[in-house]
């Protein structure tokens, strides 16, 4: 027979037979019996060792997209850092351009340019005609133009420095300094250039080139003949 045991929440019903379970249900009632069975099944599930999930999510794996969600047409899969181009001539990180400091710092380039110019002249003597002669002639002409532009810039710097020293001397004597306008500075620069060309006997060639350029400009502004 079944021994009458007062039902407690700790009663183990997992080892009882079907007849003993029916007898227990008739003694304690259906509600209490269901609570006992539910408590034992929970205890039995908790007694099992937890199953470890061997699938560990990798942060570098491809993103899984649902088939029910429409994927955008233009989607950036890999972020690309955009390279920003910077021009050192107009960038604040490079500092302000000072022609005097630049010329003093890179003064050694003048010797290199002079050597390159002599080398081009020697190559030009070897190639008296042909395509190589024309190429070397254009290169020599460009070097001479750069040299003339550098000399002109140097003369303008010297003129600017002379005017600054003159204003400083006037201020020390108690006079009010006079600042020249840009047009007056250009006139002084042209006067100095005229003196330099006259001294180097290149004034005639300079004036002839100037006349040809002015004639070409005037010819472009003339009305076309419709005869």
> Helix/strand/coil (H, E, C) string of 185-226?
HHHHHHHHHHHHHHHCCCHHHHHHHHHHHHHHHHHHHCCCCC
* Whether the predicted pLDDT of 13 surpasses 70: no
Residue 152 inside a domain? The answer is: no
Q: Average pLDDT of 166-181?
A: 82
CA–CA gap between residue 207 and residue 210 (Å, rounded)? 5
Residue 196 inside a domain? The answer is: yes
Residue 185 inside a domain? The answer is: yes
Q: pTM for the whole thing?
A: 0.46
How many domains, the chain? 1
75-116 per-position pLDDT tens digit: 666 777 888 888 887 787 877 878 888 888 988 999 999 999
- For 21-35, 106-120, 150-164, which range has the lowest pLDDT when averaged over its residues? 21-35
pLDDT of residue 71: 67
Q: Average pLDDT of 16-31?
A: 77
* Whether the predicted pLDDT of 153 surpasses 80: yes
Residue 10 inside a domain? The answer is: no
Residue 195 inside a domain? The answer is: yes
The larger pLDDT score, comparing residue 211 to residue 4, is at 211
pLDDT bracket for residue 43 (50, 70, 90): low
Q: Which residue pairs, CB below 8 angstroms and at least 24 apart, start in 209-212?
A: none
**Residue 209 structural domain:** 180-218
What length does the chain have? 227
Q: CB under 8 Å to 86, separation ≥6 — which residues?
A: 93
Residue 39 inside a domain? The answer is: no
pLDDT bracket for residue 117 (50, 70, 90): very high
pLDDT bracket for residue 119 (50, 70, 90): very high
pLDDT of residue 112: 94
Q: Average pLDDT of 183-202?
A: 78
Residue 31 inside a domain? The answer is: no
What b/e sequence results for 96-105 when a residue is b if at least 16 CB atoms lie within 10 Å of its CB, and e otherwise? eeeeeeeeee
Q: Average pLDDT of 116-134?
A: 88
pLDDT bracket for residue 2 (50, 70, 90): very low
pLDDT of residue 114: 92
pLDDT bracket for residue 54 (50, 70, 90): very low
């Amino acid at each position: 027979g079944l021994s009458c045991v007062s039902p407690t929440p700790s009663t183990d019903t997992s080892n009882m037979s079907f007849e003993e379970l029916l007898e227990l249900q008739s003694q304690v009632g259906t509600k209490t019996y269901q609570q006992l069975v539910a408590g034992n099944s929970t205890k039995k599930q908790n007694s099992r060792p937890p199953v470890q999930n061997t699938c560990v999510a990798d942060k570098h794996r491809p993103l899984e997209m649902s088939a029910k969600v429409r994927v955008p047409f233009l989607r950036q899969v890999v972020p690309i850092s955009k390279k920003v181009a910077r021009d050192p001539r107009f960038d604040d990180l490079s500092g302000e351009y000072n022609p005097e400091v630049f010329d003093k710092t890179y003064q050694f380039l003048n010797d290199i340019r002079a050597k390159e110019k002599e080398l081009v002249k020697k190559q030009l003597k070897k190639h008296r005609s042909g395509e190589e002669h024309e190429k070397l002639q254009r290169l020599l002409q460009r070097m001479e133009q750069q040299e003339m532009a550098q000399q002109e810039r140097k003369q303008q710097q010297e003129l600017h420095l002379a005017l600054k020293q003159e204003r400083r001397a006037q201020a020390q004597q108690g006079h009010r300094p006079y600042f020249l306008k840009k047009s007056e500075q250009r006139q002084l620069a042209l006067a100095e250039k005229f003196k330099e060309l006259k001294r180097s006997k290149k004034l005639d060639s300079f004036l002839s080139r100037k006349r040809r350029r002015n004639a070409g400009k005037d010819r472009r502004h003339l009305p076309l003949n419709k005869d």
